[in-house]
Structure formats: C-alpha cells, structure tokens
Amino acid sequence: MTKLNVAMIGYQFMGRAHSNAWRQVRAFFDSPIHPVMKVVCGRSAEGAARAAERLGWEESSTAWREVVERDDIDVIDICTPGDLHAEIAIAAAEAGKVVFCEKPLANTVAQAESMLEAVRRAGVIHMLCHNYRRAPALALAKRMIDAGEIGEIRHFRGVYLQDWIVDPESPRVWRLERARSGSGALGDIASHSLDLARHLVGEISEVSGLLETFVEERPLEDGQGRGIVDVDDAAMAIIRFEGGAIGTIEGSRFCPGRKNHNRFEINGALGSLAWDLERMNELEVYVEAGPESGFRTILATDEAHPYVEAWWPPGHILGYEHTFTHTVYDLLRAIGAGVVPEPNFEDGVRNQRVLDAIERSSATRRWEKV
Ligand code: SOE
C-alpha cells in the first residue's frame, strides 16, 4: 500500500469537512493510496494545534511555505479563503506536490490561469473540490443524462439559497470582503450551481448577469466599528450553453428559511430531473410514459448507485460530509492511476471565466461572452 503524506492549509469549515474525508476514506473505500494526515497549517499556533488534535493531524504549523517545501509532504490540500489559493497552489506545484483546492479556484481569472499554468508546467496532479458532483443522486443524474434518458437538454435551472446574513447586524466576515473572498454569493454559492451546470449540461457561451448588495455596511467582527460590504449579497444570471440549452443560475444569502438550498432542475426533450441538497439522497425523475406519467422519486441509496456500496445497506441515507469523502477517494484513485481527475484546475479556470462574465455583465448591463 503506497502511503502519501497530506498537508492541509486552513482548518475552519472546509478544513473540518476535508479532515473528516481524509480520516474516513480508507475505512470505507478500497483506496490504492493510504493518505497520512501529516500536517495542518493555520495562522494561529494554538488554533492549528487544537485542530491537529481534534481533526486527527500528526503535526500543526503556522508556516505553510515551509510545509509545502518539505520532502516528506506529497499532497497539499488548500482550505483557506480564496485570496491565498493562488500563492499556495503555485508554490505547491513548483514543489512537485499534488494540489487539491477548494472552490472557487481563485478570486480572479488571472489568478486561476496562473494556477493552471503552474500545475501544467510542473506536471502535477490537480483537483478542484466541487463536492456536490459526488452526491450519489447527483452522480446518478449525470449517468442518466449521459445515457440520453431525458434526451436533448433544453433548460438548466440552478439555485443556491441561504439566509445566514439576512440580519443586517450580522458581522462582516471574510466572505463579505472582496479582498479575501473575491466576490460574495457569486463565487461562494452560485459557483456551485455553475459547476453543476457545466458538469451536467456543458460549456457556457454567454451570460446576462445581475449582482446586488442589499446591506452595504456591517459591524466588524472585532466590534471596533463598522465596515463596507464590497461584495454581492445575491447573484443571478441567464445563461446560454454552447450546445443550445438555456438556463438560469441564482445564488443568494438573503432567503429566510433557506439554509443550504442548493437545487437544480434540468428539462430535456424526453424528461426532467431535479435534485435538492436538503433532500440529498433523492433524485426526482420525470420521463414521459403515457397517462400514468408523473414525477417519481428515486432514493439513490442502492448498491447500484454511485459510491453507496462502500457505506450502508439501501435506505440508510448519506449526508453532506460523504460528498467530500467521495471526492477524496476519487482523488486518491487518480493519484494511483497517475491521471488528473475532474473537476480540476482547467474546470476552475472555465468556472472563473463564467463568474467573471456574470460580474462584467452586471456592470455593463449587456450580455457578455465567456
Ligand atoms: C458558505 O456559503 C458555504 O460554506 C460555502 O462556502 C460552501 O461551498 C457550501 O458548500 C456551503 O456553504
């Protein structure tokens, strides 16, 4: 069994989700690689040490550059805010490491392109973590679409709705600072709908976008005054696919009651599919079949469904965290086979170009080509 030493940079929400995946993957999947959770890096020595102890990393460090350069480190897992993705990924590629990066790939197209160039020049394996692609019901939808079961696709309709900053006095966290996050709902959650649109339907040729910021200043996290919100609170776009389909994408943090409502519906010439993260194990399917036709719900927890046989018997449903374990498993399989998995930094650049076109279109109030 080949062992690979992993170093993860960042240990908050995504760091916890990724740590859980690194810990679980070999317990449930026949991975060709044994990932060793070697080092977790962060800005706070105390915080990183606590994260190492709680999340299962052998060491902790506040010096990510030194860790990236270590000869005993094979994989760099980037779970920081977007403003650090490019610097870390480029250093990791130049050090010959496998580079695994959270979405969105970067805060700008230029940063994303420099990351792709660096991993290509170094010839290293690279992967972008868009975890929802590997929810079993969603992977089943992809299998059905690719098999032509709903025919030629006409519409993609994606929404990603949350409500965690509806309160105007909710503090200005890093996700609300352009310098840290690159954008607001656009890059944080609409990027998921966009990635699913590209994954399930195909490449996007042009967009008409609308960004809005409802609350333009908020209390600072340290309580020492207030700060400007320079990112979008909500992002919407009409999109045209290269293959002829049309669609809409919407990401908003101002939808009271919607906690993590990531939903899509796809309408094809022969039928429709719909999926909702808040009902993650279910795929709604409509295929025309005469007077008894109607939407039916497939509970995607049978062994025949993607990834499920590694876990539990049918009906013992899976959750959000399993999508990260599936992603890490596919990364390890790719490393074992010496191939670049999907999505990777090329997808990251393509996604970033669409995000940028949506932002440009919102400013120019014109359709923008990707
Ligand atoms: C916050 O909006 C967030 O944590 C996103 O950053 C993640 O990508 C999403 O999966 C859950 O919500």
Q: How far apart are CA 320 and CA 303, in angstroms?
A: 19
* Whether the Cβ atoms of residue 267 and residue 255 lie closer than 8 Å to each other: no
In one-letter notation, the amino acid at residue 267 is N
Tell me the CA–centroid distance for residue 158 and ligand 1, in Å. 15
Tokens representing residue 249 in the block: 């994408």
In one-letter notation, the amino acid at residue 57 is W
The DSSP annotation for 19-33 comes to: HHHHHHHHHHS--SE
Q: Whose CA is nearest to atom 10 of ligand 1?
A: 189
189 close to ligand 1 (CB < 6 Angstrom): yes
Mutational pocket test of ligand 1: of 18, 181, 193, 260, the residue with most ligand atoms within 8 Å of the beta carbon: 260
pLDDT at 290: 87
Tell me the CA–centroid distance for residue 30 and ligand 1, in Å. 29
Q: How far apart are CA 198 and CA 188, in angstroms?
A: 16
Q: How far apart are CA 84 and CA 290, in angstroms?
A: 54
Residue 188 CA, closest ligand 1 atom number: 6
Tokens representing residue 1 in the block: 């069994």
Tell me the CA–centroid distance for residue 232 and ligand 1, in Å. 15
pLDDT at 289: 86
Alpha helices in the chain (DSSP H): 13-28, 45-55, 64-69, 85-94, 109-122, 136-146, 178-181, 185, 191-200, 320-337, 345-364
Residue 251, helix vs strand vs coil: strand
* Backbone φ/ψ region at 6: left (φ over 0), alpha (ψ -120 to 50), beta: beta
Residue recorded with tokens 């969105």: 104
Tell me the CA–centroid distance for residue 81 and ligand 1, in Å. 11
Q: Whose CA is nearest to atom 9 of ligand 1?
A: 189
Q: Whose CA is nearest to atom 6 of ligand 1?
A: 188
Q: How far is CA 248 from the centre of its chain?
A: 18
pLDDT at 231: 98
Q: Whose CA is nearest to atom 1 of ligand 1?
A: 188
Residue recorded with tokens 């320079």: 230
Residue 185 CA, closest ligand 1 atom number: 2
DSSP state of 10: -
Tell me the CA–centroid distance for residue 288 and ligand 1, in Å. 35
Q: Which regions in the chain score pLDDT beneath 50? A: none
In one-letter notation, the amino acid at residue 1 is M
Q: Which domains does the chain have, with CATH numbers?
A: 2-132 (3.40.50.720), 134-340+349-369 (3.30.360.10)
Mutational pocket test of ligand 1: of 188, 233, 254, 259, the residue with most ligand atoms within 8 Å of the beta carbon: 188
188 close to ligand 1 (CB < 6 Angstrom): yes
Residue 14 CA, closest ligand 1 atom number: 4
In one-letter notation, the amino acid at residue 136 is P
